Amino acid sequence: MRAIDVSMPLFEGMPSFPGDPPFILEPLARLQRGEPYDLSRLVLGSHTGTHLDPPSHFFPGRVSVDRLDLEALLGPCLVVEGGSNLRTVEAEELANVPRGTTRVLLRTANSARWARKLEFFEDYVGLSLDGARRLVEQEVCLVGIDALSVEADPSLRFPVHRELLGHGVAILEGLLLGGVGPGDYDLSCLPLPVRDGDGGPARAVLRSK
């Protein structure tokens, strides 16, 4: 099986969700300065780039990123294309997700835009609340999307996050799916085990079947 890295690289100036801290790489030691090794300090938010949202992101006392069930983050997944002409991926676009599918990654028009330039854009495609409810009904354990947020909600009430996380569904955001077609894959996605963390930057890899 061919491994496909669908993670966002970390670099200064990378896209970040409004209000999140920017990524900073600060050199502390450098070989070219005559020091014995290279060493850097990284400054980043818990939801930088490709990252996982655990239930504790919106529900205090619920499962944090370091206590997520790793089985939910490893295994078969289905990449679904949707929302190409819409602001949201609707429930009807998920009607053909087979029963028994446990992990769903949403590939939208966001991927093509990010393939041209890695920058934040406000009119990104997200998942609708009805779409989230459809996936919860199908008992998925993980939903991923090619946006820094799973929903585009100007009200800032975050109903999609609350629907998914409230039912224990992990959310994987910030995927780069421009080089991935719809279909079945195997997902490996492990977040940094930030103790009691509300989120964790992650490396996400797909293997084609």
**Residues with a known catalytic role:** 57
Helix locations, the chain, DSSP H: 109-116, 129-137, 159-166
Residue 57 phi/psi, 5-degree rounding, is: -60, -30
Per-residue tokens: 202:
């992650």
Per-residue tokens: 138:
């199908």
Residues in the chain, total: 209
Q: How far apart are the first and last CA of the chain?
A: 6
DSSP character at residue 94:
G
CB atoms closer than 10 angstroms to residue 186:
16
**Which residues are bridge partners to 190 per DSSP?**
203
**Inter-CA distances, 101 with 67, 94, 184, Å:** 23, 11, 10
User: CA 200 to CA 95: how far, in whole Å?
Assistant: 30
